[in-house]
Structure 1
Amino acid sequence: MDHADDWAAQRTEAARVQAELLAARQDAEHARAEALLREFAAAARDAGLEPGPLQVKGYGGRGTARTSLRGWYLRQDRTAGITTDGTFYVLTAPLSSLDRLRGVRPEPRRPPMILGAGGKDGSSIELAAALDRLLPGWRGA
């Protein structure tokens, strides 16, 4: 193996290790967020915070579609929510006319610790802050 091949192999291995470390960090973040949402859902039920129907918004504000989900919206723009068991959903999707008429079944997602991270300025909020807005003092209860 010449020097160029050795260098390329080292760079490939370094990239693989970095990708594994990033995946592990992301998995740990999702696990913390999932635990926080389960804890919140239990506290909300205990406090009598009434869940409501969750709807999916069409991309670009193009209508809404009902779902069978009940829970709470995490963002004021209603683009993320959790169900009564603490499952996280992104509540935006491309909606057809048929979707708006019949409703949709969104798939659960792994939650982030910061909602809207990487979005436009002022559009992100820490998950804990979003939960505190829904039920102030819930962690002390």
Structure 2
Amino acid sequence: MHAWREQRERAVRAHADADERRRADEAAEAARLVAWFAAEATQRGLRRVRLTVQPYDGGRPYRSRLTGWYVDRARIRAVDAQGNFYLLSLPPSLRARLFGADPSPQPAPLIVGRGGRDGESIPLRDLLTRRLAAGDDWP
């Protein structure tokens, strides 16, 4: 019984380690894609805009000091010129309403929208490539 338990614990640890390595590899690939996008957008001269932050309740957007490119039409995801990825959605806040909001960079997902309720997901590479192709005609 004791040997079986040890074998099971080793298998669980091996599985967890493999999952952690997979997540780290995905995060590194996503970071490379975002850095590529920022460099390519800069090289192409895509106009950077002042980014706004959407409150969860759908109210008026908050100002931010961030500039960069929105990468989705909902204006929830963006990349700055330094290659940082941002989720531009925060809980409603009086402080953010008065003084603005400056969200922190987030790790980019390789599949954007995975697990979302609407069922729409897209590979990060495709999303960024579409954004580059749209140029400054992005809404």
Name the TM tier (shorter chain). 0.7 to 0.9
CA distance in 2, matches of 1:19, 1:137: 40
CA distance in 1, matches of 2:5, 2:26: 32
Identity %: 38
Partner residue in 2 for 1:21: 18
Partner residue in 2 for 1:32: 29
Q: Determine if contact 2:38/2:81 at 8 Å carries over to the other structure.
A: yes
How far 1:128 moved relative to its partner? Answer: 1.4
**Structure 2 unaligned spans of 5+:** none
Give the counterpart of 1:88 among 78, 85, 90.
85
Partner residue in 2 for 1:98: 95
Q: Determine if contact 2:57/2:92 at 8 Å carries over to the other structure.
A: no
SS of residue in 2 equivalent to 1:61: coil
The structure where strand makes up a greater share of residues is 1
Partner residue in 2 for 1:71: 68
1:53 partnered with 2:47: no
Query: TM-score, normalized by length of structure 1?
Result: 0.86
Q: Determine if contact 1:37/1:87 at 8 Å carries over to the other structure.
A: yes
SS of residue in 1 equivalent to 2:46: coil
How far 1:48 moved relative to its partner? Answer: 0.7
Write the letter of the residue equivalent to 1:62.
G
CA distance in 2, matches of 1:13, 1:135: 46
Query: For residues 65-110 of structure 1, what are the alpha-carbon distances to aligned partners after superposition, in whole Å with 9 as ceiling and x for unaligned?
Result: 1211111112211111110111111111112122122111211111
**Structure 1 unaligned spans of 5+:** none
**Which has the higher mean CA deviation after the structures are superposed, 20-29 or 115-124?**
115-124
Partner residue in 1 for 2:5: 8
Query: For residues 5-37 of structure 1, what are the alpha-carbon distances to aligned partners after superposition, in whole Å with 9 as ceiling and x for unaligned?
Result: 333332222222111111111111111111111
1:44 partnered with 2:41: yes
Q: Determine if contact 1:52/1:72 at 8 Å carries over to the other structure.
A: yes
CA distance in 1, matches of 2:56, 2:82: 26
Query: TM-score, normalized by length of structure 2?
Result: 0.87
Write the letter of the residue equivalent to 1:43.
E
Partner residue in 1 for 2:110: 113
